[in-house]
């Protein structure tokens, strides 16, 4: 059974930075693409970044140039470095295994973690 545990969120002022982590278990981590999603109050969950098993990345336009996704296969961990944060980045952030391509990424696990809250004050 896949288990995903996110951490690293918090309260930060606009322009600040945070680094999120997600540890995955129950999956052959190094073989899978991983994605970071976020869900703001009253909005649908949206995908913001993907890192493929080979290390190539994809970003949503809203975070491109500000967020960096990376992975450590030895630790079964995916990271999201978030810089130049804006109030509109406020959301609960989740990770998941993904398949697909830049045209459409699909989350693979129904077992979403608890997420980690990111709040950016203006």
Q: What is the pLDDT of residue 102?
A: 83
What is the chain's mean pLDDT, rounded? 96
Q: What is the pLDDT of residue 65?
A: 98
Q: What is the pLDDT of residue 103?
A: 83
Taking alpha carbons only, the member of 18, 24, 32 closest to residue 6 is 24
Q: What is the pLDDT of residue 35?
A: 97
CA 25, 29, 32, 37 torsion-angle sign: positive
pLDDT tens per residue across span 83-114: 999 999 999 999 999 999 888 999 998 889 99
The label of the residue with tokens 């930075």 reads: 17
The label of the residue with tokens 């109030």 reads: 87
- Residue 12 token pair: 């930060």
Q: Which residues of the chain have pLDDT under 70?
A: none
Q: What is the pLDDT of residue 73?
A: 97
């Amino acid at each position: 059974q896949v288990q995903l545990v996110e951490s690293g969120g918090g309260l930060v002022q606009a322009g600040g930075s945070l680094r999120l982590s997600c540890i995955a278990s129950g999956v052959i981590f190094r073989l899978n693409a991983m994605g970071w999603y976020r869900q703001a109050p009253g909005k649908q969950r949206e995908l913001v970044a993907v890192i493929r098993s080979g290390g190539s990345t994809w970003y949503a336009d809203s975070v491109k140039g500000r967020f960096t996704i990376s992975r450590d296969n030895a630790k079964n961990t995916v990271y999201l470095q978030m810089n130049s944060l804006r109030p509109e980045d406020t959301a609960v952030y989740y990770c998941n295994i993904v398949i697909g391509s830049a045209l459409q990424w699909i989350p693979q696990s129904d077992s979403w973690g608890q997420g980690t809250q990111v709040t950016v004050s203006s």
